[in-house]
Chains A and B, each alone.
Chain A
């Protein structure tokens, strides 16, 4: 069974530039999560989707971050414009249902200079 796929694995940008991350969840998983993991900390939820609807985006900085999950499968997370404090690993996870076991992708390490 294929796992959660993410790309790119690494990205380096200048502050005020824009960047986008892509996630393909495990086939059949209805729930998709984006987490931000700052160095030395545990991951924190940015946004949770159930199929193509948003369940929770209360911690998403909506002035610069946006996310979508078209057709309830793949998802993209965008940052525009990026700030230095956005440097982190962005993890995508999926589960069959909310509350079920979450399976994580390899993450994207973002460095903002």
Chain B
């Protein structure tokens, strides 16, 4: 069975600084997708970034980028120039090529200070 592990329950960063959130996963499949979702206190789950496993190039969305290491089954999220609005719970998630439901990690709470 596939699993997703986020080993950092909490992280903190100062405004304008850079922070990296870690995620590891376990799967025997070769084709799959990985995601980072942001969940602010409003509970709305917002897609931050998506990575296809067959692509070697790391995905980037403005200030958000990932470091995808397929052999190591590692998928970290880097947030550059952190803003107060980035404060939220961040979830790493996996879905296989067949399109089953997302498997989530337990999340990392990110706090941003001014």
- Chain B proximity mask over A93-110: 1 for CB below 8 Å, otherwise 0: 100011111111011010
Interface size on A, residues (CB 8 A): 26
Q: Which residue of B lies closest to A43 (CB)?
A: B104
* Cβ of A64 under 8 Å from chain B: no
User: For this complex, into which size category does the number of interface residues on chain B fall?
Assistant: 20 to 34
* Cβ of B27 under 8 Å from chain A: no
Q: How far is the CB of A47 from chain B (nearest CB, A)?
A: 9
Establish whether residues A106 and B44, one from each chain, have CB atoms under 8 Å apart when the complex forms.
yes
Q: How far is the CB of A37 from chain B (nearest CB, A)?
A: 8
Contact of A109 with B43 at beta-carbon distance under 8 Å, contacts A42-B106, A56-B101 already known: yes
* Cβ of B102 under 8 Å from chain A: yes
Q: Which residue of A lies closest to B50 (CB)?
A: A101
Establish whether residues A45 and B50, one from each chain, have CB atoms under 8 Å apart when the complex forms.
no
